[in-house]
Structure formats: C-alpha cells, structure tokens
C-alpha cells in the first residue's frame, strides 16, 4: 500500500488535477469483471467538447482486479481543449478540408460539421467553430453503451456512424465495435486511429513501462535511441520522462499489412497490470507518442466507403495481471 501511495503522489505531481467540481453526463458499465465509466456526448454539458477526437470515446475510469487503467494524464482541463480526454479514444482525419474555402465547412466524423477559419493547413490541436453538431443518440445498457452519430452537409457528405463500447460477458475484455454508412453522394476516404491514453496504476512513464509487438520494431524520431529504445519486439525506456518531456515517432516500422500485426501489449512491470490490443483490420501506419504520464501507440486504420456502402471494424482490449 505504501508503494502504491508513493506512486500516486508522483503521478499527481506530474498531472496536476485541475478538473472543476461538476457532474458531466456519464454512464457506468460492468460485466462483473471490469468496471468502467464513460462520459457521454453533450454539446453544452459534455466533459469533452473539443473538435479533435470522436465524442463517443471519452473514458473516465477503468479498473480490473484492483488495477486502474484510465486516469487523467494531462495537466490542464478545458472542455474544448483538443486533448483534454482519456482513452482509448479515436480520431478520424477530416473530410473536405482542403477543398473548403475559409468560412466554409468540413467534416470530422464523430464530432460534427466544422468551419474552416483560414487557408492554414488542418491542425488537430486547433479548435474549430462547430457549424452543426449532427444528431447523437445514446443507448445505455448494463454492460455497453451504443452511440449513433448522424450528419449531412451541403457539400455532399453524409454518414451514420455507430459505435458500441461493450464489456465481454465474463471476460476481462473491452470491445469497440464500429460501423460507418455513407449516406451522402461523395465517397468517404479517411483514416482513424486510436490514441491509447492508458495510465496503468498511476505509474510514471519510464523503465517500468514496456510496449510489445509481434514484430521486430524499428523506430526513428524524438527521443528514440536515447530516452526510448527499440529492442527486438519491444520498446523500453532508458529512464523516467521528465515533466513536459515527450517522445514521438511519426511511424514505427516492421509490421506487415495484415490484421495479425495489429497486436500490441502495454505492461506495467512494477504492478503487473497489462493490456493486449488487437483489431480485425490491418494497420495503415503506427505512430508513437509518450509523455511523463502515458505511453501511446497509435495504430491507424484506413477507411473508404462509396455512397450507400457500410463498413465495419473492431478493436479489442484484453486486460490482465502478470504473475511475478
């Protein structure tokens, strides 16, 4: 208990909780094995109102066998801040941004119809005014939440996006089940990635956190080769990251274009907590980012849907405890 308390103090000194005293719309889920709480989409009272991430992916907590996997990793909270959100959370690349003129609109799936401010390139960290939030429907059950987001714009884009966050009966497993139906006249061509903002037992990012792949991983980028090391099928940290320090790679290499390569494990070697991430889709690319509180492999999936076509994909998270 003393070690856990010390780790908690270290973590919170890094994060600095600044959340206001408020109750956001949320839903508690349990399958008797995993307990988790999700924030629900709401344009006025929602916990997350940014224009970067899919609004149906804001987690508050997730616990399994006394281990916590989701916690506040960021330092400053603002509902419209692009990354003031806990994962696993997804982002779709924008539709029609390059074609739109300043003042016109473009589409962010899972967010809404956004207004282009100027001729600058799209920037995920920027807040864009929302012209149309679309229509959200939420169906809450004991072990799942079903989200539906519908949107149509005058440029010819339209979709029905469905996402179910489900806890598998009797298993330590969380599944994200998606479908996207193109209801517009224009083809949908986008990519979606999962920003795995896991925070395991409040352990700071360092040698006690290990990321594993089924392939020999190669990496270049900020901090790689010094702070973080690609060693065979693993990424290992040489030391703890300092506050505000980051590592980043625009694309890890070594994976094949098959769904079997979408197989990632993040483990806390100190507490034994682990998560195994898989999908039924191949990775388009694999970005990696980490700060002092979270380590985030970011697998991208390519999505294309012709008018009238519906596509589906799934991401699964198996939580476990390693015996020492």
Is 50 exceeded by the pLDDT of residue 10?
A: no
Minimal CA–CA distance to 164: which of 188, 190, 138, 183? 138
Q: Are strands 263-268 and 295-305 parallel, antiparallel or unpaired?
A: unpaired
Is 90 exceeded by the pLDDT of residue 164?
A: yes
**pLDDT value at position 323?**
79
Residues 6+ apart with CB under 8 A from 277: 194, 196, 262, 263, 264, 265, 266, 297, 299, 315, 316, 317
User: What confidence tens digit (pLDDT) does each residue in 74-113 have?
Assistant: 999 999 999 999 989 999 999 999 999 999 999 999 999 9
Is 50 exceeded by the pLDDT of residue 7?
A: no
Confidence band of 22 (pLDDT split at 50, 70, 90): low
**pLDDT value at position 60?**
97
Confidence band of 321 (pLDDT split at 50, 70, 90): very high
Quick one: which H or E segment has residue 14?
helix 2-15
Q: Are strands 263-268 and 273-279 parallel, antiparallel or unpaired?
A: antiparallel
**pLDDT value at position 23?**
84
Angle at 109 between CA 108 and CA 112, to 5 degrees: 60
CA–CA gap between residue 127 and residue 123 (Å, rounded): 9
Average pLDDT over residues 233-238: 98
CA–CA gap between residue 290 and residue 297 (Å, rounded): 8
**pLDDT value at position 132?**
98
Residue 289: count other Cβ atoms within 10 Å of its Cβ. 19
CA–CA gap between residue 275 and residue 203 (Å, rounded): 14
Report percent pLDDT > 90 for the chain. Answer: 91
User: What confidence tens digit (pLDDT) does each residue in 292-310 have?
Assistant: 999 999 999 999 999 999 9
Length in residues, the chain? 324
Average pLDDT over residues 149-166: 97
pTM of the model: 0.91
> 253 is written with which tokens?
């290499």
Residue 20: count other Cβ atoms within 10 Å of its Cβ. 8
Residues 6+ apart with CB under 8 A from 95: 106, 107, 108, 109, 157, 188, 189, 190
Confidence band of 210 (pLDDT split at 50, 70, 90): very high
CA–CA gap between residue 229 and residue 217 (Å, rounded): 10
**87 touches 198 (CB < 8 A):** yes
User: What confidence tens digit (pLDDT) does each residue in 30-69 have?
Assistant: 999 999 999 999 999 999 999 999 999 899 999 999 999 9
Average pLDDT over residues 171-198: 98
Average pLDDT over residues 267-274: 97
Domain 1-324 falls under CATH 3.40.190.10: no
> What Å distances lie between residue 300 and 91, 192, 196, 274, CA to CA?
9, 6, 12, 21
Confidence band of 17 (pLDDT split at 50, 70, 90): very low
Positive or negative torsion for Cα 226, 86, 163, 94: negative
**pLDDT value at position 324?**
63
Positive or negative torsion for Cα 219, 285, 277, 61: positive
**pLDDT value at position 52?**
98
Average pLDDT over residues 128-150: 98
Average pLDDT over the chain, rounded to an integer: 93
Instruction: Give domain limits for the chain.
Output: 1-324
């Amino acid at each position: 208990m003393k070690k856990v308390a010390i780790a908690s103090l270290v973590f919170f000194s890094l994060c600095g909780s600044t959340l206001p005293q408020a109750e956001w719309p949320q839903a508690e889920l349990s399958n008797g094995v995993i307990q988790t709480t999700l924030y629900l989409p709401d344009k006025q009272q929602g916990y997350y109102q940014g224009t970067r991430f899919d609004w149906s992916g804001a987690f508050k907590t997730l616990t399994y066998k006394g281990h916590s996997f989701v916690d506040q990793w960021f330092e400053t909270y603002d509902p419209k801040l692009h990354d003031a959100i806990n994962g696993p959370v997804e982002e779709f690349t924008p539709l029609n941004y390059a074609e739109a003129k300043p003042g016109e609109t473009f589409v962010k799936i899972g967010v809404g119809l956004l207004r282009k401010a100027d001729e600058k390139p799209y920037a995920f960290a920027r807040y864009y005014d929302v012209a149309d939030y679309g229509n959200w429907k939420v169906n809450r059950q004991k072990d799942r939440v079903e989200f539906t987001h519908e949107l149509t714009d005058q440029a010819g884009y339209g979709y029905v996006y469905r996402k179910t966050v489900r806890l598998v009966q009797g298993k330590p497993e969380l599944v994200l089940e998606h479908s996207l139906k193109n209801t517009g006249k224009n083809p949908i061509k986008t990519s979606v990635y999962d920003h795995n903002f896991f925070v395991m037992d409040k352990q700071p990012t360092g040698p006690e956190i290990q990321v594993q792949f089924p392939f020999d991983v190669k990496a270049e980028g900020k901090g790689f080769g010094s702070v973080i090391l690609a060693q065979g099928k693993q990424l290992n940290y040489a030391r703890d990251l300092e506050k505000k320090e980051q590592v980043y790679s625009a694309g890890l290499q070594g994976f094949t274009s098959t769904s079997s390569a979408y197989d990632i494990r993040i483990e806390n070697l100190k507490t034994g907590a682990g998560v195994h991430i898989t999908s039924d889709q191949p990775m388009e690319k694999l970005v990696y980012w980490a700060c002092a509180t979270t380590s985030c492999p970011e697998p991208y999936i390519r999505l294309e849907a012709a008018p009238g076509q519906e596509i589906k994909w799934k991401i699964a998270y198996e939580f476990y405890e390693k015996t020492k």
